Amino acid sequence: MAPVFKRLGIIEQWGNGLRIIAEELVNYPEIGFEWKEVGPGFRVTFYKKKPEDIQSTETLPNGLGNGLGNGLGNGLGNGLGNELGESLRNMINMMKINPLITISEMAKQLQISTTAVEKNINRLKILRLIQREGGTRGKWIVCQPVL
């Protein structure tokens, strides 16, 4: 059905929905979701978080990244580099070259606001492409190569 819906213009593509939803959930910290494999398929449940459970930075539930890669095909992980925007790829390269780079340094080099850099960092964290070790004075760790 998906190819027919794509030709009719009902959908723009298939196979990326969970990644797109996960990226958007950064903007809605009050909404949580759980990933569960059910037989040959999977189930994603969305729920409203309790006020005490809301955090400023959302991360994927344990196993979701692996489940996406395995359950939806390794092409998702391999294709992320092609789908990431130029700013995101540049940020990852900056972090590889200088793991101690600050948000303000990235913003200056990319000529974007620090808020935009922070939003992009949250996207990269959700995609499990980067992580921060050591807090404010810590360093960036690039978790997987981006093409």
User: Within a domain: residue 115?
Assistant: yes
Overall number of domains in the chain: 1
CB distance 32 to 53 below 8 Å: yes
User: Within a domain: residue 147?
Assistant: no
Each residue's pLDDT tens digit in the chain (147 positions)? 667 767 777 666 666 677 777 777 777 778 887 777 777 777 778 888 877 666 544 444 544 555 444 444 444 444 444 446 788 888 999 999 999 999 999 999 998 888 889 988 988 888 888 999 988 889 999 986 554
The verdict on pTM exceeding 0.85 is no
User: Within a domain: residue 88?
Assistant: yes
User: Within a domain: residue 126?
Assistant: yes
**Block residue for tokens 């995609």:** 127
**What is the domain range of residue 110?**
2-142
Give the 3-state secondary structure of the chain: CHHHHHHHCCCCCCCCHHHHHHHHHHHCCCEEEEEEEECCEEEEEEEECCHHHCCCCCCCCCCHHHHHHHHCCCHHHHHHHHHCCHHHHHHHHHHHHCCCCCHHHHHHHHCCCHHHHHHHHHHHHHCCCEEEECHHHCEEEECCCCC
User: Within a domain: residue 75?
Assistant: yes
User: Within a domain: residue 113?
Assistant: yes
What CATH number corresponds to the domain at position 28?
1.10.10
User: Within a domain: residue 35?
Assistant: yes
User: Within a domain: residue 103?
Assistant: yes
